[in-house]
Amino acid sequence: MEKCKLDNEITLINSNTCDAVSKFKSSSVRFLFLDGDHSEEGVRQDLNLFFPKLALGAIIVFDDFSKNFPGVVRVVDEYFEKKLFKSRCYYRNTLVVKI
């Protein structure tokens, strides 16, 4: 983040989701990078915990969005079906969505 001069704008938290989510107020997170438990249950838990913390228009990046991690794909697809995600960009197993 320092090399990109984003260290004053992005807070890196290397923690499990349950601990990390408690650090944020509702609707305060504008960018979320998820690279955690790649199981369907794990991804669903991460999103369920963080969704209330996301600001309108927030960006979420999912690492390992590929057929090798079907749980990630299934949960993300469910959010698109429910129209909770508005747009997406995919690049080398990384998916970027906007809410």
Domain range for 93 = 17-98
pLDDT exceeds 90 at position 8 = no
Give me the pLDDT at residue 17, please.
85
d(CA 18, CA 85): 22
Domain count, the chain: 1
Kindly report the pTM of this predicted structure: 0.86
Residues 6+ apart with CB under 8 A from 61: 31, 32, 33, 34, 94, 95, 96
Kindly report the CATH number assigned to the domain that includes residue 32.
3.40.50.150
**50-98 residue pLDDT tens:** 999 999 999 999 999 999 999 999 999 999 999 999 888 989 989 999 9
Give me the pLDDT at residue 14, please.
82
Give me the pLDDT at residue 4, please.
75
Percent of the chain's residues with pLDDT above 70: 100
Mean pLDDT of 15-30: 90
Q: Is residue 12 part of a domain?
A: no
Q: Is residue 8 part of a domain?
A: no
Q: Is residue 92 part of a domain?
A: yes
Q: Is residue 3 part of a domain?
A: no
